[in-house]
């Protein structure tokens, strides 16, 4: 895995690459930028290989050969998006950390042009892109686990509280409301979901061993 992630800037994603020349990297950059631009303008439906190639200034054949289809393009974009140094907020309070996290999600899902929703929606069209999307989310949630660890260290959460279910419970309403239910942007949504989850967590809702309710 060491030499695999050597340089995120010049590493071509698919297949063997015996020649990481300057042109290859340049072409990739142009194509991936074109994908994001097309996604923002025409949405999930309008993402055609033809338009991407034209905007990128390359030939259709090149795109088909290197990425095979639209799913390959999206998977590459998603993998590139995950290669950053993002980290969750650190405010000293679980509810505030979750609120900040949710506000980022809220902004991403309601930004114009709607690139993120288009990316998520388009991922349904390709198993390959869906896999990449899943990897990205899994990585993001893993980075967020430190938020729960800090809260545990402060004694704000009962011992045995599991990070993943808590994080999913806190963030899921954002995706559900804005992505699936098509609700209008709501500035209070982020805090409400964060507060509800923090309350439930403090009450022991996310401990592996339930507090015996029968």
Partner DNA sequence: CCACTAGTGCGACAACTGATGCATTAGGAT
Partner DNA sequence: ATCCTAATGCATCAGTTGTCGCACTAGTGG
Name the residues that contact DNA, by CB under 7 A: 12, 17-24, 27-28, 48-50, 57-62, 64-66, 68-70
Phi, psi of 207, deg, nearest 5: -85, 145
Residues 6+ apart with CB under 8 A from 5: 11
Give 161's strand partners.
Answer: 207
d(CA 164, CA 162): 6
Task: Tell me the two tokens of residue 22.
Answer: 């300057």
**DSSP label at residue 43:** T
- Check residue 134 for interaction with a copy of itself (CB under 8 A): yes
Position among 181, 184, 187, 212 found at the interface with a copy of itself (CB under 8 A): 181
Judged by CB under 8 A, does residue 90 bind a copy of itself?
A: no
In 10 A of CB 124, how many CB atoms? 11
CB 188 within 8 Å of CB 208? no
For DNA, the closer CB: 41 or 69: 69
Least CB distance from residue 141 to a copy of itself, whole Å?
8
Binding-site partner at residue 49 among DNA, a copy of itself, none, CB < 5 to 8 Å by type: DNA
Query: Shortest Cβ distance from residue 48 to DNA (Å)?
Result: 4
CB of 10 to DNA, least distance (A): 9
Which are the contacts of 116, defined by CB distance < 8 A and separation ≥ 6?
A: 108, 109
CA distance 78 to 87: 17
| 142 binding a copy of itself? (CB under 8 A) | no
Find which of DNA, a copy of itself, none residue 181 binds, CB within 5 to 8 Å per kind.
a copy of itself
Residues near a copy of itself, by CB under 8 A: 44-45, 120-122, 124-126, 130, 133-134, 137-138, 165, 168-169, 171-173, 175-177, 180-182, 192-193, 195-197, 199-201, 203-206, 210, 213
């Amino acid at each position: 895995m060491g030499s695999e992630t050597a340089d995120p800037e010049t590493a071509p994603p698919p297949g063997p690459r015996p020649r990481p020349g300057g042109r290859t990297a340049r072409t990739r950059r142009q194509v991936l930028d074109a994908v994001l631009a097309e996604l923002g303008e025409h949405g999930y439906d309008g993402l055609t290989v033809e338009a991407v190639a034209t905007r990128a200034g390359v030939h259709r054949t090149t795109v088909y050969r290197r990425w095979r289809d639209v799913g390959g393009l999206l998977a590459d974009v998603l993998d590139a998006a995950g290669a950053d140094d993002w980290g969750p907020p650190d405010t000293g309070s679980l509810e505030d950390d979750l609120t900040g996290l949710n506000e980022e999600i809220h902004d991403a899902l309601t930004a114009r042009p709607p690139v993120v929703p288009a990316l998520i929606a388009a991922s349904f069209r390709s198993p390959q892109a869906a896999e990449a999307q899943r990897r990205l989310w899994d990585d993001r949630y893993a980075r967020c686990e430190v938020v729960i660890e800090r809260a545990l260290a402060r004694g704000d959460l009962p011992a045995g509280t599991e990070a993943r279910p808590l994080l999913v419970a806190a963030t899921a309403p954002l995706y559900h409301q804005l992505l699936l239910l098509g609700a209008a942007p709501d500035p209070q949504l982020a805090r409400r979901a964060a507060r509800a989850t923090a309350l439930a967590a403090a009450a022991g809702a996310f401990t592996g061993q339930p507090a015996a309710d029968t």
